[in-house]
Amino acid sequence: MELSSGFYGRSNPHMLSTSGGKAMGKLIEATHEPAGVEINMKPVLDIVEDIFERATPAAPGAIKQVDASEPDERALHYSSLEQMMDVLSATINRISCEITYRLSIGEDAHSTTLAVAQIVKGYSWDAKIVLALAAFAMTYGEFLLVVQLYATNPLAKDVALLKQLPEILTRADLLKPKFDTLANLINAMVVVAKCTVEFKGLPSKYIRPEDPELSSANADIPSAVYWTIRSTVICSSQIMGLINMGHEFLSSTTDAWELSSLTHNINSIYNDLVEKLNRCRQRINERKDIEAFETLVRLFDAVHIDNMKILKALIYAKDDQPPLWDGTTKQRVSIELLRRKSVLLLISDLQIPEKELIILEQIYNESRVQPTRIESQYEVIWIPIVDRSSTFDDTMRKQFESLQAMMPWYSVGHPSMIQPAVMRYIKEVWGFNKKPLLVVLDPQGRVVNPNAMPMMFIWGSMAFPFTKLREEALWKEETWRIELLADSIDPSIINWLTDRKFICLYGGEDMNWIRKFTTTAKAVAKTANIELEMLYVGKSNPRERVRRNMTNIELENLSHTLSDISLIWFFWVRLESMWHSRAQHGVTVRNDLIMQEILTMLGFDGSDQGWAVISRGADEMARAKAETFLKSLEEYMAWEAAAAEKGFIPALNDHFRSLRTEHHCNRLTLPGISVAEIGSIKDTVVCVDCGKPMEALLMFRCCTD
């Protein structure tokens, strides 16, 4: 049979343009008369894709090997698919016959495409594409079965002979490029089909046809339908050409160009559709996150019999794996272990300071020594907050696992278990912003403290159950004394207190002043016949200079030092925690002695000078900056008589007051205060010397030391 060029249906270049493509889409849209029957086309598309994958020829006459040990997941669909095919098979066969007939009489691809569109006019847009692909898959699969089996199967050999295939099957050098080009177009059609099926399956609860993301895609889908059906027609003509024209057809470069042009066009359609599909997914995820956030808000407002609903809402368990990692046993465990327990949520990013972890670990481990004590009846879960816009790469994974390995308590198995809605809740409701939080949930899942970190640093596990009421009760028991200031940083302090010794804490970075001060203090103590113990507590955020000072103090036997530099950090962070805790309860410098002393100590740290505090017992304490304290000690003979009469510390305080001048310049650094919070606290921060409100300044610091 002589075949005209129209048999191959070569595309007009104008038809491949954007305007031409939309015009073709209008033609298809004019045939669209949906019958209102909804059919899930994904199982059919799975079978079609399976046919294309299995039919891809390795070489003429070679049988493609399939690993029989691997389960065929698509076979699971076959039982439900059989019932569906009772409805669809007649349409698929009709499309196949229509294409074969029209191409055999020389009709062009465009007319054949519109004829197929008439057959599928009652189906949804995704069904139109899948049905056309299914019709071609039958033709393609049958042809490739013969290609694969003709050398070994007598039946296939006879069929190949009737189709005049043996001659062309000997030309593997020409056959492979033809099928490679064909396979590229088939792959392009399949991914477009997947896109349209996914568009059809988008949940109407979260995205509506009038939404711009979906309406834009819906406007382009008719064009995608036209070009996919047309591509199946062209592919069918290629198979028929192989059967009817043999070597003459194999060597045709014109048809290879047309297949490549169609592939390029279909890929462009796919790229456009998948971009719009991603925008739809983004909109859906945004609405799901909003819904999940609102659900979380309602959940925390509700009353529960235990904490399971809350914990399961916060930690998304996926893949049926236990969601928690036990830092002690180093294995995954069920969240059920925390039912009706007080749970502390340690919330941080992956930049949580190691020294902070060390202190928390020490407090936690101390609480486990006697697990039956009331103060030990709590558990901790680390909730890592990782920005979803960043790729969780190998570096971040190692960082997460390194932090997780340091923690003896529970942590989530993976940061992805913290969903976007939960992260939003943590940031907006609990106020997380880089600085670690310790949110306390009672056994019923109620938030009883949005941040117990200050309580934990001040009192450790003695603050259990870490509620605001417990915090108020603990403060009512406190006075400004050396035990509150420093008893948790060095066990020797308790012994010194028991022995009624004078205790001096001092700090700063000037090593020359430290030598003068400690030497003078020892001399005065000897003269005054008092037992004095001195302890160096450095400066907040201790760096190399403080470390060198600690070494020199030990080598020169000037005073005691702390066993680890992280304890210096802890001393100052406890003071900052005291300020945060008192401020949360509405206490100000004007009406509270403890707050005055806390701010005085923080002011000492903010200055460039050294400082010292000396105490004996619970009610005797004196403190001053470096120059004032050293000068007072050097002038001891001037107040020696007063010390003998009143006592050492009262006399020292009197001498401090005699040296005070109207001129002063106090600086106070309050770490962890955001720019937004400055306005709300500036009226409560007043100078401890004159009582006037302190001027608020914004400071940026980079200390490499």
Contact between 519 and 526 (Cβ < 8 Å):
no
| Per-residue three-class SS string for 46-82 | HHHHHHHHHHCCCCCCCCCCCCCCCCCCCHHHHHHHH
* Structure-model confidence comparison of residues 562 and 5, the more confident one: 562
Mean per-residue pLDDT, 123-140: 93
171 pLDDT band, cuts 50/70/90, is low
pLDDT of residue 68: 43
Question: Is the pLDDT reported for residue 572 higher than 60?
Answer: yes
Mean per-residue pLDDT, 68-76: 49
| Partners of residue 615 on adjacent β-strands | 503, 621
pLDDT one-digit tens code per residue, 666-684: 666 665 555 445 454 555 5
CA–CA separation, 377 and 341 (whole Å): 7
pLDDT of residue 334: 93
> In the chain, where are the structural domains located?
14-56+78-287, 307-461, 478-662
Instruction: Kindly state the percentage of the chain with pLDDT values over 90.
Output: 52
DSSP state of 607: S
| Per-residue three-class SS string for 247-299 | HHHHCCHHHHHHHHHHHHHHHHHHHHHHHHHHHHHHHHHHHHHHHHHHHHHHH
b/e burial code for range 556-573 (CB count within 10 A of at least 16 → b) = eebbbbbeebbbbbbbbb
CA distances from 435 to 7, 347, 431, 463, 676 (A): 71, 9, 10, 21, 15
Mean per-residue pLDDT, 624-647: 92
248 pLDDT band, cuts 50/70/90, is low
pLDDT of residue 167: 64
pLDDT of residue 249: 52
**Domain 307-461 identical in fold to domain 478-662:** yes
Question: Is the pLDDT reported for residue 180 higher than 50?
Answer: yes
pLDDT of residue 541: 81
Averaged confidence pLDDT in the chain = 84
Radius of gyration of the chain (CA): 40
Question: Is the pLDDT reported for residue 444 higher than 50?
Answer: yes
Question: Is the pLDDT reported for residue 258 higher than 90?
Answer: no
pLDDT of residue 694: 64
Lowest mean pLDDT among 115-119, 138-142, 195-199, 503-507: 138-142
Spatial CB neighbours of 17, under 8 Å, sequence gap ≥ 6: none
What helix, strand, coil percent values describe the chain, rounded to 5? 60, 10, 30
Report the CATH fold assignment for 307-461.
Answer: Glutaredoxin (3.40.30)
254 pLDDT band, cuts 50/70/90, is low
pLDDT of residue 342: 94
- Asked if omega into 465 is within 30° of 0 (cis), the reply is yes
pLDDT one-digit tens code per residue, 456-505: 999 988 899 999 999 999 999 998 999 899 877 888 898 998 899 999 99
Contact between 190 and 209 (Cβ < 8 Å):
no
Mean per-residue pLDDT, 85-91: 83
607 pLDDT band, cuts 50/70/90, is confident
CA distances from 47 to 40, 50, 69, 78, 236 (A): 13, 5, 19, 9, 18
DSSP state of 396: H
Mean per-residue pLDDT, 649-669: 78
**Verdict on whether the full-model pTM lies above 0.85:** no
CA atoms 19, 24, 25, 26: torsion sign: positive
* Structure-model confidence comparison of residues 695 and 94, the more confident one: 94
* Structure-model confidence comparison of residues 81 and 399, the more confident one: 399
Lowest mean pLDDT among 4-18, 83-97, 195-209: 4-18
Q: Which among 141, 147, 172, 171 has a CA at the least distance from the CA of 160?
A: 147
CATH number of this structure's domain 478-662 = 3.40.30
